[in-house]
Structure 1
Amino acid sequence: MLNVVVVTDGPYGERAYENIKEKFDTEFVELEKPESMFMDEIDIPLYELNKIKEANILITYTQHPDLTLDIVDLVNKYVDHIIVAAWSGEGFKNQLESYENVTCPYIMCELEENGNEVFDSFTSKIGKPKVDITLENGKIAIIDVIRSSPCGSTKFVSDYLSEKYFGSDDLENVPIEAGLKLQHYPCRAAKMRLFTDEECKKEMASGLHRDAFEEALNK
């Protein structure tokens, strides 16, 4: 079974851990945020480091850039794929993605298959929202979440729409309301990086959910 490790040095990552562990064998590793800004003074405890090395998929929510880079440098040869959820600046992103098995998404709910068997196994269930809608006599009967955003917002939106539109033939407004309802979910992606446009990220997440419901209805 796919082994996922979520690592953090601060307030982010726990919600993703709670959602991802429903699909995969997942561990949550908390590291102390380094006080120093110099990499040679950063020390990762051996126990935590060995646990991280056992991951097939590693997701880092570490905010200290040198700690993030240190983790990637130390474990990239051991894990199949690393997803860096918290990063700042295109230069740092390019530096991280110089490792072939590292991905730095703009937002976590845009993750899709990339041809790597292990990564695709993960993103078949976690990443860019994907839902399936069953109609009976032209009315909504069931909404299933096929692929959830890591934070759980897809289930949040799906549960709301399942209750509101059960037995309804008002299909036209479902995708629009999916995007609007996403705005009510406390998305924290923008807060993980400096100099980012939080509204832009929320609009992007809303659009991804709107498109997911529209695609499901078109099927």
Structure 2
Amino acid sequence: MHLAVKALLEADPQLALPTCFVIRHDTEGSRTRESKDSTWSGVFEYVTGESEQVWSRDLASVHHRGIAELPGKMVRFDRVEVERAHGSIRPDLVGIVGERRINLEVAAAHFIDNEKLAKIRNLGVPTLEIVLPPSIDPDWEALRKILHSPDGKFWRFNPLAEQRAEADYQARQAARVERRRRDEERREREAERMRAQQQEEMRARQQAAEVRKQKAVLREEALQEATYGLVAEVVLRRERDSF
């Protein structure tokens, strides 16, 4: 089947690349094909489907993940190579544009396994898996529709998307650290404000107690003076009465 795809691309070297949506997670996920909606490669999740659906799905937890989205587009290859060895792998097809290359793996029943994916990642070459339905009629028109549509294609490795997702992840991590620092500073300022307020309230209470004490002393002194004055007056009166 990949020979038919090769012949079509040689006759019309255009291929519709799907959107490459990559999420950089904190930890490594399952490295198996878990569903039709995503595949994993280490800590990177390659998500298929419309970006709006992806954002809606991950909106609640996106703040601590790295996100990269490369929009889909039609690409025209300068040439297409078939089953040419590259390092330790032999991709079905290699599309070449200038100095750039992309591995194209045509899959109908067998998909890229973890071992091959590890080799692909080591080579660092973008790799797209073109999934052909087993029931597809082996005619050129049906194949051409698949090649010219973003459907049925899955990014298994895209170093540019991963680099951007990693950069976004690191930026988000730095932002989280900065938020924690600011929150800690805010809590420290609030604690300091509360301590200062408590100290001020304590000083105010102490001052109020001191004022009450001084007033009590003054009242006591005034009372003593009044008592002394009364006693003196009584004594003087008695002295006058004795003449």
Structure richer in helix, relative to its length? 2
TM over 0.5: no
Report TM bin, short chain.
Answer: under 0.3
What TM-score do you get using the length of structure 1 for normalisation?
0.23
Structure richer in strand, relative to its length? 2
What TM-score do you get using the length of structure 2 for normalisation?
0.22
